[in-house]
Amino acid sequence: MSLLFSPLRLRSVTFPNRLWVSPMCMYSAVDGVVQDWHRTHLTQFASGGAGLVVAEATAVLPEGRISPRDAGIWTEEQREAWEPIVSGIHARGALAGIQLAHAGRKASTWWPWAEQRGSVPASEGGWITSAPSAVAFHGFDTPRALDAAGIDAVVAAFAAAARRALDAGFDVLELHGAHGYLLHQFLSPLSNLREDEYGGSLENRARLLLRVLDAVRRTAGEEVPVFVRISATDHADGGFSPEEAAVVADWARERGADLIDVSSGGLVAHQRIDVFPGYQVGLAGTVRRGGRIPTSAVGLITAAEQAERVLEDGEADAIFAGREWLRDPHFALRAAHELGVEMPWPPQYERARWR
């Protein structure tokens, strides 16, 4: 039996396999509304055998977008635009998830292929960003520190976004607490210099993440899985550490999280990352054991046997991949073929199944 192609049940949801599509920003929305590009992009992975397709980081507030071209779910128009995409994913046999996000001090930036870099000025559609402290990411404008009312508004926005996502038909909700965005900014002492109940100790730095999780868990009810993506290390001295990540994961489990999606980095420009195939897998194992919660591994996992071995070694319960799905939207079908696993293929693709 292949672990990669065995089902996984979390709450009321059974995932048909454990090879999933990571959220990947497309920078192709208009006023937060996803377009035809998103439909084609996401549904192709379902045709390719993915057990779960997670839509890109989707802003819960307009000022929470990474760029002016980011997807959002703070309006009903945006929710309506997601509905046919979710239906298309379901029609092709996969489950649909969405990553709810707020970019904090890394918001209002140019998209990757823009000629400019750094923060987008107001004259070009940019805005003033917010963060735990008035400390800028390298090369970006200085954010304003959130006050108590601003923090409450963020929590309420995540809950409202979760409601819209469920109304759009999503099966899984993921909170983006990684890659240097707002929830991660609160977690790390490198970006959180507060002296109130949201700063200082790990318990205080995790307070916003856990408040958001509580609000989303209440909205989701008891049946819908809620994931939390974290960067388990900042790859920088004095930053958020794997040991702290395991503690936060345990707290999240107690508050109703079902799986920790373990990534790393993104908080500071001076990070130093040793990149190699599966370079983040050990972090997923650390969080899994210390947090006593299912985890997913991600990071240069590109081959069927490699993904299978991660699960066999007990480092994670599922595999997220990103770039490999972009290179091959039928990654799961190929992986199953290579492992000799029987799995449903679209009848239109049957001629490629065995030869």
**Which domain CATH number covers 319?**
3.20.20.70
Does 214 reside within a domain? Answer: yes
pLDDT value, residue 352: 85
- Domain of residue 43, residue span: 8-352
Residue 85 · residue 93 · CB < 8 Å: no
The CA angle 70-75-77, to the nearest 5 degrees, is 90
Does 130 reside within a domain? Answer: yes
Residue 265 · residue 275 · CB < 8 Å: no
| 279 given a catalytic annotation | no
347: number of Cβ within 10 Å: 7
Distances from the Cα of 174 to the Cαs of 138, 164, 262, in angstroms?
27, 14, 12
Burial of residue 84, with CB atoms counted within 10 A of its CB: 0-12 exposed, 13-18 middle, 19 or more buried? middle
Does 338 reside within a domain? Answer: yes
Instruction: Please state the domain count of the chain.
Output: 1
CA 314, CA 329: separation in Å to the nearest integer?
27
Taking the chain (355 residues) in runs of 10, the rounded mean pLDDT of each run is 96 98 98 98 98 98 98 98 98 98 98 97 97 97 98 98 98 98 98 98 98 98 98 98 98 98 98 96 98 98 98 98 98 96 91 78
Does 2 reside within a domain? Answer: no
Helix axes of 36-47 and 76-91: crossing angle, nearest 10 degrees: 30
Does 336 reside within a domain? Answer: yes
pLDDT value, residue 355: 64
Residue 349 · residue 49 · CB < 8 Å: no
Q: Check residue 72 and report its DSSP letter.
A: B
CA 261, CA 298: separation in Å to the nearest integer?
8
Does 94 reside within a domain? Answer: yes
pLDDT value, residue 34: 98
Does 3 reside within a domain? Answer: no
CA 227, CA 174: separation in Å to the nearest integer?
4
Residue 144 · residue 71 · CB < 8 Å: no
pLDDT value, residue 19: 98
Catalytic residue, candidates 27, 181, 198, 279: 181
Residue 252 · residue 228 · CB < 8 Å: yes
Phi/psi class of residue 176: alpha, beta or left (left: φ > 0; alpha: ψ in -120 to 50)? beta
Does 194 reside within a domain? Answer: yes
- Tokens linked to 146: 């959130």
CA 92, CA 43: separation in Å to the nearest integer?
7
